[in-house]
């Protein structure tokens, strides 16, 4: 970890100043039902087919109810797209920002977080299909000098993709929200992040375990740049974003802003007097997340990514199978190349979630695309491990 002698004090002062003057949130007090007015929230949807509330197999009533509580103490905005063979539904709710109370922008851009890994995996797999990368080759071969002598066992490119490399996590810019917030405009380069991870030595032998960590995909970003001679952003755009028709998705680099229409993100923080308030965390330099999590996108673009990928339009066979294959010999592993699976009833749902402070997102569906779900929720505690009732209600309504 970098030396930060006064960073905790600085973070405390920043939070005290930033949270203190915030206006009261545009919803009811925590732990009480939220009142949503037409001027503060919109909820719209369209559907096709016959069935519950007008759509075959889609419960529009449950979907509207899931986002109808927004804004509340758990989220300030929600954008949802449900699709598949049973029809489609689009909905938005909440506010664009707490100060104005304007309705949430239904086509807003947002921080997609670790959904970036889907694009990175697809980029690597396309390069593999073109013969530029051998998934079984050691990454040490492609990136000589990156690893210390402690990494004496070869790490295959495939093991980076499925998080079985054994490379530990990098240090980052802080250990808690206050410290990270104080450094939100600082730049930690991907190279610095990887160097801090490698300096620790291997966490386990390659292939022995599955440990989901950003560092695997940061190394993959370095690999893409090394084998192509072009930037990660340029190659990911050329090989994935452009073929998928993702016209409103981009990689911000060190720019802390979200360009274009967006709903502002907030984080619940403790005030000096013991109460809680919401801190605007929209602007944030995500350079250290890079190929693992800095992408900015829209729900429509992520839906295009999902359908293009699953239909084989981005990654050809047999490389596409890597996205639906968990590592051998690890029966508890649920992650593949860029995706994760979860059993929902008698179906298997493949997808990826992502979160940055102020923003939680998900993209996924059944492999045959009979049901798909994409959402962006401006969660007020997006990095918490605790359940978020808004996210849970959206998922339950969409996949029932």
Integer angstrom CA distances of residue 39 from 26, 83, 243, 355:
11, 28, 38, 28
Cβ-based neighbours of 106, under 8 Å, separated by 6 or more: 42, 44, 79, 90, 92
Place of tokens 């993959």: 220
Look up residue 167 and give its two tokens. 């490379």
CA distance 211 to 203: 9
In the DSSP assignment, the letter for residue 6 is T
User: From first to last of its 400 residues, what are the pLDDT tens digits of the chain?
Assistant: 443 333 433 444 344 444 444 434 544 333 333 333 222 333 444 433 323 343 447 999 999 999 999 999 999 999 999 999 989 999 999 999 999 999 999 999 999 999 999 999 999 999 999 999 999 999 999 999 999 999 999 999 999 999 999 999 999 999 999 999 999 999 999 999 999 999 999 999 999 999 999 999 999 999 999 999 999 999 999 999 999 999 999 999 999 999 999 999 999 999 989 999 999 999 999 999 999 999 999 999 999 999 999 999 999 999 999 999 999 999 999 999 999 999 998 899 999 999 999 999 999 999 999 999 999 999 999 999 999 999 999 999 999 8
CA distance 284 to 257: 7
Domain definitions of the chain by residue range: 7-115+231-399
CATH number of the domain at 7-115+231-399, please?
3.40.710.10
């Amino acid at each position: 970890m970098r030396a930060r002698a006064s960073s905790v004090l600085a973070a405390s002062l920043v939070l005290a100043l930033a949270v203190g003057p915030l206006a009261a949130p545009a919803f009811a007090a925590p732990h009480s039902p939220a009142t949503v007015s037409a001027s503060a929230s919109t909820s719209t949807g369209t559907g096709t087919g016959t069935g519950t509330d007008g759509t075959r197999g889609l419960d529009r009533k449950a979907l509207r109810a899931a986002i109808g509580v927004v804004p509340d103490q758990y989220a300030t905005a929600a954008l949802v797209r449900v699709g598949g063979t049973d029809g489609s539904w689009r909905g938005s709710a909440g506010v664009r920002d707490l100060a104005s109370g304007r309705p949430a922008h239904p086509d807003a851009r947002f921080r997609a977080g670790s959904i970036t890994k889907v694009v990175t995996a697809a980029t690597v797999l396309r390069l593999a299909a073109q013969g530029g990368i051998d998934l079984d080759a050691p990454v040490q071969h492609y990136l000589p000098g990156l690893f210390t002598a402690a990494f004496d066992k070869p790490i295959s490119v495939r093991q980076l993709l499925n998080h079985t490399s054994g490379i530990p996590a990098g240090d980052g810019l802080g250990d808690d929200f206050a410290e990270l917030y104080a450094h939100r405009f600082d730049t930690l380069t991907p190279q610095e992040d990887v160097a801090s991870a490698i300096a620790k030595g291997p966490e386990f032998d390659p292939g022995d375990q599955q440990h989901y960590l950003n560092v695997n995909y940061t190394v993959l970003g370095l690999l893409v740049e090394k084998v192509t001679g072009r930037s990660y952003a340029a190659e990911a755009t050329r090989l994935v974003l452009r073929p998928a028709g993702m016209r409103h998705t981009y990689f911000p680099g060190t720019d802390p802003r979200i360009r274009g229409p967006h709903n502002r993100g907030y984080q619940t923080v403790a005030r000096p007097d013991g109460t809680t308030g919401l801190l605007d965390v929209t602007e944030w330099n995500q350079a250290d997340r890079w190929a693992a999590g800095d992408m900015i996108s829209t729900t429509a673009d992520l839906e295009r990514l999902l359908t293009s990928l699953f239909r084989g339009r981005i990654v050809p066979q047999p490389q596409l199978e890597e996205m639906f294959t968990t590592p051998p010999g690890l029966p508890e592993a649920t992650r593949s190349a860029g995706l994760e699976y979860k059993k929902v009833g008698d179906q298997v749902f493949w997808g990826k979630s992502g979160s940055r402070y102020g923003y939680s997102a998900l993209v996924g569906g059944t492999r045959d695309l009979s049901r798909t779900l994409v959402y962006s929720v401006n969660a007020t505690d997006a990095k918490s491990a605790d359940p978020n009732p808004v996210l849970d209600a959206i998922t339950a309504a969409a996949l029932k």
